[in-house]
Structure 1
Amino acid sequence: MSKHEYAVQIKRMTGQEDIPLPQKMSELAAGFDLYAAVVEPIVIAPGERTLIPTGFSMAMPDALEAQIRPRSGLALKHGITCLNSPGTIDADFRGEVKVILANLGQVLFTVNRKDRIAQMVFQEVPKVRLIETEELSDTERGAGGFGHTGKQ
């Protein structure tokens, strides 16, 4: 496990000075909570999805990616989740971070300005080199795919 500390630059988007920057809600939290930078409340109907701005962009070292993940409380209490989860923000992206929220619940859900909507977790990204080959080594599993091991 890495013990590196990385500096990530955060830039507020113009007009979003009142939106809190990403922050950890406890000392040992893995994720930084993200806040909605919506101008007006947005209502997400059951089965719908929408893109929610967060009011910031960032620059991180090329050894990192940022993953956008749902907040467990929103998921449990309201059925609100993040699509494309975890969503990946690459180190070379400099646009505003946005979150795809989906309502899997059964009632309308309103996103208000400054609501905590998701969390962002940073992960190290290993340098990987793909090597094309004609054959792969055998394993006990082989090409067994979805559900191949049966029910437990």
Structure 2
Amino acid sequence: MTASPFAVDVKIIDPRIRDWGMPSYQTQGSAAIDLFACIDAPKEIAPQAPAVLIPSGLAFYMGDQSCAALVMPRSGLGHKKGLVMGNNVGLIDADYTGEVFISAWNRNPPRAAPIVIEPGERIAQLMFVPVLRATLNEVETFSNSTERGAGGFGSTGSGATGA
């Protein structure tokens, strides 16, 4: 495995992380590390109830303003159980150094069973990504054009033929 292009400092806030194992990339091709639910007892999330914040037990110092982290759902939990992020994707800015929390939501229909999150369960993933900060230049018209232009939702068609 090749070395990461940058190092990120991690502060362990919940000492159980040491017992559960430091979050790591599960395979050589993994894009994100899994985050644990650092809760003291099993937590039920009722279907369609408001999202809840689950502590990850970790804080990060990226040290590079051209980097950010995204908190995303674990694919299997969303597909099989209905556990998704309450805010779809959480953005952790490079200058935030507090504990990372996971916004968890049970998207299942109202009469479905609650989802139970266990202490130490891997419930989300964290991916570090590059950030481009643009300088906005106000213009009356664009200096160039594209084939699509201002075509919005559905403007490129929906079928295999583009129809």
Do both share a fold (TM > 0.5)? yes
- Displacement of 1:126 in angstroms is 2.3
Distance in 2, Cα, partners of 1:36 & 1:21: 13
DSSP 3-state at the match of 2:103: strand
- Displacement of 1:34 in angstroms is 0.3
- Displacement of 1:4 in angstroms is 6.2
Gaps of 5+ in 1: none
Distance in 2, Cα, partners of 1:93 & 1:70: 20
Gaps of 5+ in 2: none
- Displacement of 1:87 in angstroms is 1.6
Distance in 2, Cα, partners of 1:139 & 1:63: 28
Whichever residue aligns with residue 109 of structure 1, its letter is I
TM-score, length of structure 1 as denominator length: 0.88
The structure having more radius of gyration, on CA atoms, is 2
DSSP 3-state at the match of 1:54: strand
Q: Which residue of 1 aligns with 2:5?
A: 5
The total of aligned residue pairs comes to: 148
Bigger CA drift: 127-136 or 115-124?
127-136
- Displacement of 1:148 in angstroms is 2.4
Q: Which residue of 1 aligns with 2:91?
A: 88
TM-score, length of structure 2 as denominator length: 0.83
Matched, 1:50 2:52: yes
Q: Which residue of 2 aligns with 1:145?
A: 152
Kindly provide the CA deviation profile for residues 62-95 of structure 1, in whole angstroms up to 9, marking residues without a partner as x.
Answer: 2211111110110121011113232211100011
Aligned-residue Cα RMSD (Å) equals: 1.7
Q: Which residue of 2 aligns with 1:108?
A: 114
Kindly provide the CA deviation profile for residues 100-134 of structure 1, in whole angstroms up to 9, marking residues without a partner as x.
Answer: 11111232101111000111111111242221111
Distance in 2, Cα, partners of 1:131 & 1:22: 41
DSSP 3-state at the match of 2:16: coil
Q: % of aligned pairs identical?
A: 38
DSSP 3-state at the match of 2:97: coil
